[in-house]
């Protein structure tokens, strides 16, 4: 189609934030661009209200379900600004002939760095130390070192691999579980593959990097947490729905787990009354794993190029369906 006639919907609030060329290049090539009017992920009803007449949708963490897609009268492509497509009804997209793409690899380094940062912050009591000094206190906070500990990585995909590479310099043991183990990578990066149960039972820190699927939804439940080592830590920079939050609360309150670092919640933003937010042994961050200059630029360019490719009748590089 003639790009000068194309209408775009762009909803990620960080789009173009670290690279203004993303907006200027898009706006110079297409007919019109509608940016997110709310400043947060859109509900199904909000998406439905914006989709009529839209040809390309560069999407954040919006709810793109069948009801929303009923209003897509011209939509040809949805480019997810990120990897996960669990919020997109892929079957409805297939039925309507809408191509869906994502941005694999764009934010892997940023998410892996955050996972490592959460580990260090928890184990060395960094937030508690900062707050104590601000209050005029000078406590002796005895922390744990990563050296000599065992870190378990559940899901050794792109992000899990980046985390493993960074952990290799900490002189810790790295255990990993993945349904499709990459033995060559493991051998080159000091990673030992094990069963899911072995990783859970033997790790001082368990870091979650599994995609959200019917099998992984709620996998971190009472049984999972009971099998973790007493005094261990849980890190989640994947999807909030992987964790049963009430089960995690019980494990933390009982002292079975020493702490948790959470960058994702079942409901985002979480209710301020969520009891997990009030535990001192929990570090909660606002789903900022991909919020770095490098990640947002990569996601923006990957998604934009695939949107333009589809509208020009070309095959996108990162097609999902």
Average pLDDT over residues 10-29: 95
- pLDDT digits 0-9 by tens, 95-128: 999 999 999 989 899 999 999 999 999 999 999 9
Any domain includes 316: no
Do 95 and 40 lie in one domain? The reply is: yes
- pLDDT digits 0-9 by tens, 278-288: 999 999 999 99
Do 61 and 174 lie in one domain? The reply is: no
Do 49 and 181 lie in one domain? The reply is: no
Any domain includes 199: yes
Q: How many residues does the chain have?
A: 321
- Residue 309 token pair: 């490719």
The set of catalytic residues is: 239, 268, 287
The pLDDT score that the predictor gives to residue 1 is: 87
Q: How confident is the model at residue 189 (pLDDT cuts 50, 70, 90)?
A: very high
Do 200 and 92 lie in one domain? The reply is: no
How far is Cα 239 from Cα 222, in angstroms, rounded to an integer?
18
Do 264 and 197 lie in one domain? The reply is: yes
Q: How many domains does the chain have?
A: 2
Q: pLDDT exceeding 90 applies to what percent of the chain?
A: 95
Any domain includes 100: yes
Average pLDDT over residues 303-319: 97
- pLDDT digits 0-9 by tens, 52-98: 999 999 999 999 999 999 999 999 999 999 888 989 999 999 999 99
Helix axes 293-311, 21-29, angle to 10 degrees: 10
- Residue 160 token pair: 């899990």
Do 126 and 79 lie in one domain? The reply is: no
Return the CATH number at 297.
Answer: 3.40.50.720
Has residue 201 got a pLDDT over 90?
A: yes
**Sheet order of strands, 56-59 included:** 32-35, 7-10, 56-59, 77-80, 99-101
121: domain range?
108-284
Do 245 and 171 lie in one domain? The reply is: yes
Q: What angle do CA 7, 12, 16 make, to 5 degrees?
A: 85
Do 161 and 268 lie in one domain? The reply is: yes
Do 178 and 65 lie in one domain? The reply is: no
The pLDDT score that the predictor gives to residue 83 is: 84
DSSP letters spanning 128-168: HHHHHHHTT---------STT-EEEEE--SHHHHHHHHHHG
């Amino acid at each position: 189609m003639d790009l000068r006639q194309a209408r775009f919907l762009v909803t990620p609030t960080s789009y173009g934030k670290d690279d203004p060329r993303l907006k200027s290049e898009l706006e110079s090539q297409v007919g019109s661009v509608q940016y997110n009017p709310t400043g947060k992920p859109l509900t199904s009803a909000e998406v439905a209200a914006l989709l009529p007449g839209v040809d390309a949708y560069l999407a954040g963490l919006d709810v793109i379900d069948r009801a929303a897609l009923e209003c897509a009268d011209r939509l040809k492509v949805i480019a997810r600004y990120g990897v996960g497509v669990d919020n997109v009804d892929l079957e409805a997209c297939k039925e309507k002939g809408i191509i869906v793409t994502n941005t694999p690899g764009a934010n892997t380094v940023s998410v892996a760095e955050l996972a490592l940062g959460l580990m260090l912050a928890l184990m060395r009591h960094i937030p508690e130390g900062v707050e104590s000094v601000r209050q005029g206190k000078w406590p002796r906070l005895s922390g744990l070192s990563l050296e000599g500990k065992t870190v378990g990585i559940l899901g050794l995909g792109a992000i899990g691999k980046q985390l493993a590479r960074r952990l290799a310099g900490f002189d810790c043991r790295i255990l990993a579980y993945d349904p499709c183990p990459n033995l060559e990578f493991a051998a080159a990066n000091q990673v030992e593959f094990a069963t899911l149960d072995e990783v859970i039972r033997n790790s001082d820190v368990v870091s979650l990097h599994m995609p959200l699927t019917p099998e992984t939804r709620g996998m971190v439940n009472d049984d999972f947490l009971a099998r973790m080592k007493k005094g261990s830590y849980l890190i989640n920079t994947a999807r909030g729905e992987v964790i049963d939050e009430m089960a995690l609360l019980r494990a933390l309150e009982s002292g079975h787990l020493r702490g948790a670092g959470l960058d994702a919640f079942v409901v985002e933003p979480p209710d301020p009354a969520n009891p997990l937010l009030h535990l001192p042994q929990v570090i909660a961050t606002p789903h900022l794993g991909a919020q770095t200059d490098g990640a947002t630029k990569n996601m923006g360019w990957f998604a934009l190029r695939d949107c333009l490719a589809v509208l020009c009748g070309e095959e996108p590089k990162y097609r999902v369906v």
